[in-house]
Structure 1
Amino acid sequence: MLFALRDESGNITALTDRNIPGATAVDAADPEVLSFLSLDASAMASATDFLEDSDLSTIRILEDLVDTLVDRQVIRFTDLPPPAQRKLLSRKVARTLNSDEDDRFESVEEDKLFLHDEDQLF
C-alpha cells in the first residue's frame, strides 16, 4: 500500500510506504501516482512490464553503488562472491567497449575481454 502527501492544491508531493501523519492511501496504478513518478500509464501494461523495463537502469545503479563502496573502502571487491565479481568485471569491460571515448580495445578480440562462468579470477 502506498500513501501520498499532497500540497494545498491537492497535488502529490511525496509517496511513502508508511501511513505517516497527513498521508492518504493511494493505488499504485492511480494516474496521479504514475504522473508523479513520471510514468506514462497508457504505455505501461503492468507493474511487471515496468519492472522489466527498469531492470537495466537499476543494474547500472547497483554497479555504481558497488564501485562507490569499493572506492570508499567500505567493502573490498574480493568480498563479493566470485560469480558477482566476474559479472561486474564483464559488464565494466562491456561498458568500456561501448564507450565512444575509449578505442584502446579495438585490436583485441572481444571474446577474450569477457569473463565467462568457467574462467578463474585469480
Structure 2
Amino acid sequence: MVYVRRDASGSVLSVSAEADDLHPEAADAHAPEVQAFLGRLGDDNPLAGTDLGLVRVIEDLIDLLIARDLIRFTDLPDAAQEKLMARRTMRRSAGSLDLINGDNEVL
C-alpha cells in the first residue's frame, strides 16, 4: 500500500510510503496509475535503463552457479525462487510463441 497525491484530473503527482497531509489517498502499489507514475520517474534516471539488462545477467549468473554446483536453487530465499521460476516460465512461454529471439529481444 502506498499513498498518493493527485492533480485535479486525477493523475498521480507524487507517491509516499506513509500517509500525510500531501498524500491522503491510499492506493495499491501495483495500480496502473501508480506504476505509470513510477515509470515516468525512471525515464529521468540513467541507471533505470540498465536495470532490465542487469536482471538478465543476474539470472544467468545464478544459473551458472547452480550448474557448477556452487549453490542449490533451494539455497535461495523462497521469494527469489518464486520470481526466478515465474520469469523462466514466462520466457519459456514467450519462446514457444516465437515472440522473442534467443537474446530475449522482442521481435
TM-score in terms of structure 1 length: 0.42
TM-score in terms of structure 2 length: 0.48
In proportion to residue count, which structure has more helix? 2
